[in-house]
Amino acid sequence: MILAVLYFLSMATTLAANRIAERKLRDRQARRAQIISAARRIAELEGWSNVTVRRLSDEISYSQPVLYAHFGSRKGILTAVAIEGFQEIGLALEKARKRAKRGGAVESVAAAYLEFAASSPALYEVMFSLSLSVPFDDRATPPELHFAFSQLLELFRGQSSKPEVISELFWAGLHGIAELTRTKRFPRSRQKERVRALVELFTLPR
């Protein structure tokens, strides 16, 4: 009887400890998401130069040590935003690729990529244009980046002996169009023509 009671108490203590640990994890994840969301909101309205630890601390009423505990530095916050951006663009490209009619996947993905870049300029900027230590094509590359690139790779897998290289060149073309349009080097009036020409270049004969 005593052993049964002790076992019950032990189990109850373990369950309580697990619930506390789960709640702390949820709270931590919620704080992290809130910080990232605030950084994105400020950047879209005012630019990344205004996304500082002090500004974020004031914006969401967390102390600066709390922000540092989550991300280590301002650059850590920007890196987290960039990684989130790659997950989002990966999902957008996956959706475009899967809903495309037969033979139209390259054009559908190209349009989705450029729409993402145009609709979220600050997010796109932090993904590619700021000096962050996010490794590409490396063992340390975050899975979100692999996921995004895989959506491009799927377009050319089995159609070329070097699908990775073709995918990189297609990506380079899309990124060039996105950046030169964002910085107003390319007039938007010819955007459809550019996309059509790029798609023709990368639509491989079957």
Residues 152-162 as b/e (b if ≥16 CB within 10 A, e otherwise) read bbbbbeeeeee
CA distances from 177 to 13, 113, 121, 174 (A): 59, 10, 13, 5
What's residue 204's pLDDT? 65
**Strand, coil or helix: 184:** coil
pLDDT tens for each residue of 51-68 = 999 999 988 888 888 888
What's residue 31's pLDDT? 87
Q: What is d(CA 151, CA 79) in angstroms, rounded to the nearest whole number?
A: 21
Burial of 73 by CB count in 10 Å (0-12 exposed, 13-18 middle, 19+ buried)?
A: exposed
Residue 48 near residue 130, CB atoms below 8 Å: yes
pLDDT tens for each residue of 7-44 = 566 666 666 556 665 666 676 778 889 999 999 999 99
Query: What is residue 104's DSSP assignment?
Result: -
CA distances from 200 to 100, 118, 132, 144, 191 (A): 16, 22, 33, 28, 14
What's residue 152's pLDDT? 95
What's residue 194's pLDDT? 93
Read off φ and ψ for residue 117, nearest 5 degrees. Answer: -65, -40
**Average pLDDT, consecutive stretches of 10 residues, N- to C-terminus, the chain (206 residues):** 63 63 70 92 93 91 86 91 95 95 90 95 88 77 93 88 92 95 89 93 74
What's residue 160's pLDDT? 72
What's residue 92's pLDDT? 97
Q: What is d(CA 23, CA 11) in angstroms, rounded to the nearest whole number?
A: 18
Q: What is d(CA 197, CA 206) in angstroms, rounded to the nearest whole number?
A: 18
What's residue 21's pLDDT? 57
Q: What is d(CA 53, CA 75) in angstroms, rounded to the nearest whole number?
A: 10
What's residue 67's pLDDT? 85
Closest CA to 183 of 135, 144, 137, 129: 129
Closest CA to 151 of 70, 200, 92, 81: 92
Residue 107 near residue 168, CB atoms below 8 Å: no
What's residue 158's pLDDT? 80
